[in-house]
Amino acid sequence: MRLELRINGSVRSLEVEPLKRLLDVLREDLILTGTKEGCGEGECGACAVLLDGQLVNSCLVAVCQAAGASVVTIEGLSSSALTPLQRSFVECGGAQCGICTPGMIVAGQCFLDSGAAATDEAVREAIAGNLCRCTGYTKIVESIQHAARETR
Amino acid sequence: MFDKPPTMKHADNSKSTVGHSPPRKDGPDKVTGRARYLDDLAFPGQLWGRTVRSQVPHGRIRSIEFDPRFDWSGIVRVTAADIPGDNIVQLIEDDQPMLAHDMVKHREEPIALLACADRERLEEALLHVDVKIDPLPPVLDLLLSTHVFKSYRIEAGDIKPAFADSSLRVVEGIYRVGHQEQMYIEPNAICAVPREDFGVTIYGSMQCPFYIHRGLQRLLKINDSQIAVIQVVTGGGFGGKEDYPTVLAGHAALLARKAGKPVKMIYKREEDVAATTKRHPAVLRYRTAVKPDGEFVACEIDVVMDGGAYVTLSPVVASRGVLHASGAYRWPHARIDCRVVQTHTPPNGAFRGFGVPQTLFGCEAHVEKIALELGLDPLLVRRKNALVVGDVMPTGQRLTESVSALPVLEAVAARSGYAAKREAAMEAARLPAGSARARKRRGIGLSLALHGAGFTGSGEAHLKSRAGLELTASGARVLSASTDIGQGTITVFSQLAAEALGVPLSMIEVAVNDTSRVPDSGPTVASRTTMVVGGTIARAAEAMARVLQGYVAQTHAVPAGEVCCVGGIFAARGRSLAPFESIARRYLDERGPLVCIEQYELPPGVQWDDAAYRGSAYPCYAWAATAVELEVDLDTYEIKLLDLVTASEFGKAIHPVLAEGQIEGGTVQALGYALLEEHIYVDGRLLNTRMQNYIIPTALDVPPMTTLILENPYSRGPHGAKGLGELPMDGPAPAVAAAVLSAIGKLIPDLPISPERVMKALHAA
Amino acid sequence: MIPVTSVKTLPEAYALLQARPPGLRVLAGGTDLMVAINARVGLDRIGHVLDIWNVRELRGIALQDNFLRIGALTTYTEIIHSTLVNTQLPALAAVSREVGAWAIQNRGTLGGNVCNASPAGDTLPLLLAADARFLLGGPRGERTVVAEEFFLAYRKTALGADELLLRVDFPLPDAARLAYRKVGTRRAQSISKTLIAVRATPGLREVRIAAGCVAPIPLRCRRAEQAAMSGGDVRAALQLDISPINDIRSTIEYRRLVSANVLLQLLKNMGTPYSLPGRP
């Protein structure tokens, strides 16, 4: 099927199979490889993107359901300079191997955008769908809290 | 000692050297999605590879048939018959075939390989390979196995009189731990690219490029110049990408050579979990003789580990395990046995801790049992027996420096509020059963751990690791085969080189990890990277600094002894002479390349006798204590972690934020081991192969953590540094067991301490 | 390639349902179906996909005729943030917060949970205990089925091949007295080991009990209800209701004992005002 997606602000027209995963469309058709695959079943959150502003696992979204929608990936969060959240991840040690990091930052940005108070519990709940095996989460929580302090 | 340093302190880039925490060098690429992992790389004309597996745990292959009715055009097929060289996975023993041809010894054993450009057709093709196997009875229980891969015995003193001494108390216990999956978020991934010289270039996610480099030479019958192995950004390893990538690279290379095209193999999660190596399960028996006041006199320890179908790394896992089985304590008399046996399950291998999380769980849980049976506070028992400088370990090694068992123990006891919380838990337990009794019970427990840094015994002497750096026009480039798999190798090596050269961190780059270009600094394992390889790089940088100082002395007519480089500027007698880069450029123009490579040498006095199993198993040890406070729900038997305090001493933190990251991350892996992670096998088949059913901790399962770092420099480590990576994996599980004991009065001797096990313990007659 | 029909209105959906293409599967938020498709599980049994994600009339939460009415495509996130749900049916908001995590809550729907009909569906025991009614619709018209009559056997429901679930209605004000406890494998992204839901009047004069993960279907526990209302042995009665199995997540023994423990605590607390448990 032919469909249009607004990817990171620009409209792209694509010819794709309707049940193709949004994840594969991003990685294969649009060469946006910042979005990662960790499990293919919505468990790990490595493939998290924003779909019409909402956090989703792109491995569970059939691309036909994203037709006409706006998609923001890790590549769309920053242009030349790092965002405050990305800077926090670098400075606070929020990224180790880095494979969960794009999804984690998309989820963290979604939390920051929600305007909720960045308590330990609230941040942990916001990233509970993003598995990280390296950091033990402490420095990720700190990174998000640090960015929250910087941006508010 | 310092508390958690404020994490933003390091934002100041000038503070980039040792002991400070500059932003990690690969950070910007990783937070923007620009970092390219294997699956992100495009290889023109590339095919996808898949593996046909046994599906039978033990048997003899009768036939491998490719369905003649299926259209095989465009599909490359490989079996053992296609292997030009030795059909083995090279490691310690040559017992594991790259592709099985007669016998299969585990259910996931690879038998044939397929490659195709179209993934859908490839999946279809897999269904048209018919492997017929005559099954044989499998051995699936480690205690029933009679095939011993390797056994060890350590003896000190004479245990017999102690166990016969009626003034001593004999305490016995049996402890069990199961498999643990590394569950790196990026599965194993390799791409093999065939070359015109009939060689192959391997790109992949890996810890040990030279394992593959050497393994593929034998497999493909090619020479050293016909292979290059390039590590790409690697999404976690934890030991799971130590030896297994050799298998995957072998498979991809066989397919690529036959196809004449690049072949990418990326395991799906289910395949990765089912087929690749895991932590060894173990059964541990402890029998100890102790004085009524808690002083340890003798231990008799027997450990059996499950190696799985092939030897792989089992002998060294068992070796490290047995060497840590008596824990961080003095035992005047000891007999410690360990054997690792074969079962018809996928081979077990390296996982952070490497045998120690198993034996230290046994040891520390047993210390709790000793305290329980003697009616003593387990903290007092640990305090009474903890190793100090001058003590002798069961192998005869005398500890001479950098020993911090007591300081880490005391730091954790004080910070966690152990005494008051333990008293409160005991108070609650004394309340009469009745309606007023809370449905939740709190407890606190602690553990003490040590972890030997570097390869065991004569390992480092055999390795002769080489690493160094080369001068560039803009600074220097670190040359090593040690991989950054997230732990921060690139940043730490750069800091060590920058410090020695007297240049800012930005002037140090790290060479692409390509076996055709970098020296073999040994595998990235065994908590050896900073201490062994980092130390070697620091020495090479010092050598380079001396060469350049001599050169500056000559060109600027000043005494060589007075030239130094600070902040990237050469100076003498307080006068600036020239920036480092301009000296580097002049040197390269006039004298040509400057490459300084050093080889690691074991410190003098570190001797190991492999035959007698005596001597200094490790040049030094890192130390950690962990306190866990938790709450047990008496309705659901669920355990909620409330607080966790660790204190670690690993000589010197080169980069405190990265070091804390190692401690926190390792601790959470250990909490998963303690509470959640369990593999369920039926007839040799692993049932939970998905992230949905192999349960690792989420952010909500992790308690607030206090991470204390104590410094006690080791004279032979770079800036005093010892190994850290594995240490945090060792102690948390027994600390959880101790805390559960404190909460409900029952010592649960098996991992994980699942609600089901808590229920059984509470309702046992 | 599996053909997909994406519709925006019910009449469009009904038109396809009337044609009854073989192997028709309905796709809502995709949190179950896409997992199966990715894993290639039962792929050959899927002949056609009807994508209803954009049917607006199936969304929304309203209070009408003493019922709280929740459209089948309402997501967990919408439920969690709904003032109506939080005041009239707080337990449903709380349990929705325990499903998966944010990304799943943004896509998973109440209707999807019902139609997927897993015995481990987290909202289902609550629907049974709350005496929810399901409005089903198709080319042949609409009908209402009470929750208890909807779940027939393991993953088999009363939904006809040409029907969609349109809405779930909760009778008020009783729904406010609904309480539950989920016992999962961890604190997020967790499939339940057991989940007990109870609706009771003060003094336990009227009690409805339902359980998840302890039978082939989400189960109403009538013997336990009788025991609770008559002052009998609830623990023993519940054991007659449920028939748990050993699986990857837990054991028969654990599920039996913990289901009973949890039920007794819920009943004990029933007299006190219900408060949102939040995260366990």
B94 in a domain, yes or no? yes
SS3 string, B514-570, reads ECCCCCCCCCCCCCCHHHHHHHHHHHHHHHHHHHHHHHHHHHHCCCHHHEEEECCEE
Specify the pLDDT at position B645.
98
- Among candidates C70, C60, C39, which has minimal Cα distance to C171? C70
* Alpha-carbon distance B246 to nearest alpha carbon in chain A (angstroms): 21
- Among candidates B30, B24, B521, B486, which has minimal Cα distance to B239? B486
For residues B553 and B662, membership in a common domain is answered with: no
* Alpha-carbon distance A68 to nearest alpha carbon in chain B (angstroms): 24
Q: What is the dihedral of CA A81, A87, A93, A99, to 10 degrees?
A: -50
B337 in a domain, yes or no? no
CATH number of the domain enclosing C226: 3.30.390.50
B649: enclosing H helix or E strand: strand B639-649
List Cα–Cα distances, B295 to B292, B299, B380, B383, in angstroms.
Answer: 7, 12, 10, 10
Specify the pLDDT at position B437.
63
- Among candidates C132, C164, C151, which has minimal Cα distance to C58? C164
CB contact under 8 A, A60 and C4: no
Task: Locate the chain A residue with the closest alpha carbon to B728.
Answer: A136
C279 in a domain, yes or no? no
For residues B515 and B588, membership in a common domain is answered with: yes
Domain boundary among C130, C149, C171: C171
Q: What is the CA radius of gyration of chain C?
A: 18
Specify the pLDDT at position C1.
85
Omega of the bond leading into C119 within 30 degrees of 0 (cis): no
CB contact under 8 A, A41 and C38: yes
CA distance C49 to B303: 55
| Residue B382 contacts residue B294 (beta carbons within 8 Å) | no
CA distance B355 to B456: 12
DSSP-derived letter for residue B80 is: G
For residues B578 and B623, membership in a common domain is answered with: no
- Among candidates B504, B505, B492, B510, which has minimal Cα distance to B658? B492
Range of the structural domain that residue B221 is part of: 47-138+185-275
For residues C122 and C207, membership in a common domain is answered with: no
Range of the structural domain that residue C109 is part of: 58-171
Give C1's contacts in chain A (Cβ within 8 Å). Answer: 17, 19
- The hierarchical CATH code for the domain A84-151 is 1.10.150.120
Mutate to test the interface with A, among B31, B120, B688 (most CBs of A within 10 A): B31
Domain boundary among B553, B571, B599: B599
CATH number of the domain enclosing B236: 3.30.365.10
Instruction: Report the sign of the C-alpha dihedral through residues C63, C68, C73, C74, in that order.
Output: positive
The predicted complex's ipTM stands at: 0.99
Task: For A11-34, write each residue's pLDDT tens digit.
Answer: 999 999 999 999 999 999 999 999
Of C181, C248, C254, the CB nearest to B688: C248
The secondary structure of B213-224 as a DSSP string is: HHHHHHHHT--G
Task: Locate the chain C residue with the closest alpha carbon to A41.
Answer: C35
For residues B484 and B514, membership in a common domain is answered with: yes
For residues B674 and B526, membership in a common domain is answered with: no
For residues B633 and B753, membership in a common domain is answered with: yes
B486 touches chain A (CB under 8 A): yes
Task: For C173-218, write each residue's pLDDT tens digit.
Answer: 877 789 999 999 999 999 999 999 999 988 889 999 999 999 999 9
B422 in a domain, yes or no? yes
| Residue B305 contacts residue B321 (beta carbons within 8 Å) | yes
Is pLDDT of C89 > 80?
yes
* Alpha-carbon distance B46 to nearest alpha carbon in chain A (angstroms): 14
| Sequence-separated contacts (24+) of B369-376 with Cβ below 8 Å | B369/B171, B369/B173, B369/B286, B369/B747, B370/B171, B370/B288, B370/B290, B370/B294, B371/B294, B372/B741, B372/B747, B373/B169, B373/B171, B374/B169, B374/B171, B374/B290, B374/B292, B374/B294, B376/B293, B376/B294
The count of structural domains within chain C is: 3
Specify the pLDDT at position C44.
87
For residues B455 and B470, membership in a common domain is answered with: no
CB contact under 8 A, B698 and C188: yes
CA distance A16 to A25: 8
C63 in a domain, yes or no? yes
CA distance C166 to A122: 33
Tokens of C49: 């996909």
B172 in a domain, yes or no? no
Chains contacting chain B through 3 or more C-beta pairs under 8 A: A, C
CA distance B732 to B738: 10
Q: What is the dihedral of CA C23, C29, C30, C33, to 10 degrees?
A: -40
* Alpha-carbon distance A131 to nearest alpha carbon in chain C (angstroms): 10
Give B676's contacts in chain C (Cβ within 8 Å). Answer: 185-186
Q: Reduced to 3 states, what is the DSSP secondary structure of residue C74?
A: coil
Break chain A into its structural domains and give their ranges.
2-77, 84-151
CA distance B347 to B342: 9
Over residues C104-127, the mean pLDDT reads: 98
Q: Is B593 exposed, middle or buried (0-12, 13-18, 19+ CB in 10 A)?
A: exposed
The secondary structure of C3-21 as a DSSP string is: -EEE-SSHHHHHHHHHH--
Q: A2-77 belongs to which homologous superfamily? A: Beta-grasp domain (3.10.20.30)
When mean pLDDT is compared across A121-130, B689-698, C95-104, C170-179, the lowest value belongs to C170-179
Q: Which segments in chain B show pLDDT lower than 50? A: 1-14, 435
CA distance C120 to C216: 9
| Residue B50 contacts residue B263 (beta carbons within 8 Å) | no
B755 in a domain, yes or no? yes
When mean pLDDT is compared across A49-53, B760-764, C219-223, the lowest value belongs to B760-764
| Residue B577 contacts residue B560 (beta carbons within 8 Å) | no
Instruction: Report the sign of the C-alpha dihedral through residues A89, A95, A98, A99, in that order.
Output: negative
CB contact under 8 A, A139 and B36: no
Tokens of B92: 């310690």
B98 touches chain A (CB under 8 A): no
B21 in a domain, yes or no? no
Task: For B469-514, write each residue's pLDDT tens digit.
Answer: 999 999 999 999 999 999 999 999 999 999 999 999 999 999 999 9
| φ, ψ dihedrals at C197, nearest 5° | -125, 140
Specify the pLDDT at position C278.
40
Tokens of B546: 């001396």
Number of H helices, E strands in chain C: 12, 14
CA distance A88 to A145: 9
Question: What one-letter code names the amino acid at B176?
Answer: R
* Alpha-carbon distance A150 to nearest alpha carbon in chain C (angstroms): 24
For residues B100 and B232, membership in a common domain is answered with: yes
C280 in a domain, yes or no? no
For residues C194 and C222, membership in a common domain is answered with: yes
Instruction: Report the sign of the C-alpha dihedral through residues B363, B368, B372, B378, in that order.
Output: positive
- Among candidates C62, C164, C41, C99, which has minimal Cα distance to A42? C99
Residues in chain C: 280
- Residue C160 burial (CB count, 10 A): 12
B55 in a domain, yes or no? yes
Of C29, C35, C102, the CB nearest to A55: C102
Over residues C246-275, the mean pLDDT reads: 87
The count of structural domains within chain B is: 3
Alpha helices in C124-186 (DSSP H): 124-129, 147-150
Question: What one-letter code names the amino acid at C44?
Answer: D
Of B10, B658, B692, the CB nearest to A43: B692
